[in-house]
Amino acid sequence: MFAQIRKNRRLLQVLLAVVMLPFVFWGADSVMTSRDDQAVAASVGDQEIKQSELEIALREEQEQIREQQGDNVDEGLLNSKQLRRAVLQRLVNRQLLQLYQQDARLVTPEEQLVKTITSLPAFQEDGKFSKEKYKEIIERQGINVQTFESGLSRDLAIQQALAVVSTAVFAGKKSSEIFSNLYLNERQVEMATIKSSDFASKTKPDSAEVEAWYNSHTQDFVNPEQVKVEYLVLDASKLNVNPDETQIEEYYQANQASFGVPEQRRASHILISKGEGTQQQARSKAEGLLAKLKKRPQDFTKLAKQNSDDPGSSVQGGDLGWFGKGVMVAEFDKAVFSLAQNRISDLVSTDFGYHIIKVTGIKPTTKSSLEDVRGQIVATLRDELSKNLYNQQAEDFINSVYEQANNLQTTAEKFKLKVEQFDWASKDKLQPPLDHPKIRQAIFSPESVNQKLNTEAIEVSAGKLVAARVLEHRPTEQQNLDSVREQIQRLLIEQKSLKLAEANGKAKLEDLQQGKSASLTWSNTLDISRLNPHGLPLEAINAIFTPDLKKKPSYTGATLPGSGYALFRIKNETKQQSKELIKLMQEQYQRLIANTESAAWLEGLQERYSVKITPSP
């Protein structure tokens, strides 16, 4: 059991990504966010999700998408209502699960919490858990170890609840086969395309049609309110304050216990589980083994292999490897670090059972020199000094922006900052750091738009203040017909051309289905599956897989939005033979069923705890 602490690390890393990281970053940022933003985004039972929490989670999601997609990122997606709703729903689900966990009194066993924490690479040095590094990282997030472990324990319990729901559903063999066939079976297809552009010359919308379209779609031809703005950012992370030699030396002297490698011990154990018969029987067996070892201590490895109930270490003769203080449960830890090398303990009782422990190695604490840890100290002090400087400057920055209300340049010169500029943007096109809802609201307020006054300095995230000033303003404006006439004409031509291509294609399809010939140019044969659609839209794929192929070749067709009409000559169908791929798709189907069941369960929790979403402003 204890040996499992160092196993399955990949699984635990995945668990951390799903469970722990949201707690760390959401929890820490929620502590550091400006407290005056108390608007409620949603309520779950009697618990509220603040607008500030939503904004933090949304920005984290946006940053993650930007990191993943780089230059290909779709800014429209990042600022879309769909993404905002998805992030809010995730926060709601999280709160639902927390309430369920409390009501169901779900708890995480201490040993599972220990396994999770000690297996995380972020808390390790040289592949081993570092209690000092663990404490340092947690406290750097603005929370203490007890708060972190309490939150992680809760989240692990929630994860277990979700696992119970998702693993309780099993996909039937027949339905799994249908699913894998649906995605993996291939149809051999030739394609001919009737292009809508070939019919463009046959369509010419008149003025009445253009005017009628404009009158029925006036809302599509409105220029939104826009502004050109300048802004100023006071960012703690950009205040690179370098510590002097005295500060470095003082920090080293005050924190020597944090530098170097703490004492490590290697131990072996024999575990007799309390679940083996009665508790007294288990103790009697353990006492018997201890008596044998007192007579022949050299038999420890043999007796561990023959008797230990810890499957992870028994095959190794009870060896648990090297570990530091505080990694194992308290009783076990106390015994190990009180024994001399090669000594065998008396019986040690834990929740796992009765242990007989032998310390097989001791590595004493080693200290690092100042030069060894100089880089680490400088980075820590630079971070602390930057935050301190930010805290000192923040109030003065806020006051300066307010007092010099007609310009940002004075404040910029005072704090040695650069005034940035953002050209013409509507409310939904503002980009970071101006996309914060309070900044957006301030920029488009009457004071900013009409009087060109600075906005107040607003903390958009922990350690980042932003103030903006409108330079120019364009009100909402209805575009007149003449300015959009050509645009409407092109749109009507595209629509009419597509309808003509569609009619022509359907006529040819009818001829082919009746055995008549049709003047078409067919492509080379394509092996098309739902897993490999060759770039065809969903409408085309559905059309290709609709015919039953009793007659070959079989013909079908589909409209290609924006480009024309496609006809398909289906020659044959082949079934996927790869057992590995079939197995993979069937596993995917099982996950799909499990996710569906979990989603349904969460919907039930929404009714149980009364979820209310506040409409977006």
pLDDT in tens, 252-273: 888 877 777 778 899 999 999 8
Q: What is the pLDDT of residue 167?
A: 65
Per-residue pLDDT of 217-255, as tens digits, reads: 999 999 999 999 999 999 988 887 889 999 999 988 888
Is residue 139 over pLDDT 80?
A: no
Mean pLDDT for 442-468 is 92
Is residue 437 over pLDDT 90?
A: no
* pTM for this model (two decimals): 0.51
pLDDT confidence of 377, banded at 50, 70, 90?
Answer: confident
Tokens of 521: 């140019």
Mean pLDDT for 167-184 is 74
CA distances from 549 to 89, 116, 129, 286, 573 (A): 44, 54, 62, 71, 8
Tokens of 305: 């292999």
CA distances from 91 to 54, 85, 433, 486 (A): 8, 10, 23, 46
Is residue 132 over pLDDT 70?
A: yes
The residue among 134 and 286 whose pLDDT is bigger is 286
CATH 3.10.50.40 in the chain: give the residue spans. 263-363
- Provide the CA 192 distance to its chain's centre, in angstroms: 43
Could you tell me how many residues make up the chain? 617
Cα separation, 29 vs 20, in Å, equals 14
Q: What is the pLDDT of residue 21?
A: 34
Q: What is the pLDDT of residue 143?
A: 66
Cα separation, 447 vs 441, in Å, equals 11
Share of the chain above pLDDT 90, in %: 44
Is residue 613 over pLDDT 90?
A: no
Q: How many CB atoms lie within 10 A of CB 219?
A: 7
Q: What is the pLDDT of residue 144?
A: 67
CA distances from 84 to 56, 194, 251, 306 (A): 11, 40, 44, 58
CATH, range 263-363 = 3.10.50.40
Mean pLDDT for 107-136 is 82
Per-residue pLDDT of 575-603, as tens digits, reads: 877 788 878 877 777 778 777 878 888 88
Per-residue pLDDT of 496-524, as tens digits, reads: 999 999 999 999 999 999 999 888 999 99
- In this structure, the strands spanning 226-235 and 420-425 are antiparallel
Report the range of poorest mean pLDDT among 43-47, 131-135, 569-573. 131-135
Q: Residues with Cβ < 8 Å from 560, sequence gap 6 or more?
A: 193, 537, 539, 540, 566
Q: What is the pLDDT of residue 188?
A: 96
The residue among 308 and 132 whose pLDDT is bigger is 308
Per-residue pLDDT of 519-558, as tens digits, reads: 899 999 999 998 889 999 999 999 999 998 888 999 999 9
Per-residue pLDDT of 20-63, as tens digits, reads: 333 332 332 322 233 334 578 889 888 888 887 888 888 888 88
Is residue 472 over pLDDT 50?
A: yes
- Provide the CA 402 distance to its chain's centre, in angstroms: 38
Q: Are the C-beta atoms of 146 and 100 separated by less than 8 Å?
A: no
Mean pLDDT for 483-494 is 94
- Strand locations in 305-452 (E): 319-324, 348-350, 353-363, 420-425
Q: How many CB atoms lie within 10 A of CB 166?
A: 17
Report the range of poorest mean pLDDT among 26-40, 301-315, 378-392. 26-40
Cα separation, 390 vs 239, in Å, equals 7
pLDDT confidence of 9, banded at 50, 70, 90?
Answer: very low
The superfamily in CATH containing domain 2-171+596-613 is: Porin chaperone SurA, peptide-binding domain (1.10.4030.10)
Is residue 19 over pLDDT 50?
A: no
Q: What is the pLDDT of residue 616?
A: 62
User: Tokens 């006054």 — which residue?
Assistant: 453
CATH, range 226-240+377-478 = 3.10.50
The residue among 9 and 186 whose pLDDT is bigger is 186
* Mean predicted lDDT score pLDDT of the chain: 84
CA distances from 216 to 221, 477, 481, 493, 498 (A): 11, 17, 12, 17, 21
Q: What is the pLDDT of residue 327?
A: 79
Tokens of 302: 């043999």
Three-state DSSP string of 119-169: CCHHHEECCEECHHHHHHHHHHCCCCHHHHHHHHHHHHHHHHHHHHHHHCC
Q: What is the pLDDT of residue 579?
A: 80
CATH 1.10.4030.10 in the chain: give the residue spans. 2-171+596-613
Q: What is the pLDDT of residue 343?
A: 95
Mean pLDDT for 555-566 is 94
Cα separation, 360 vs 343, in Å, equals 8
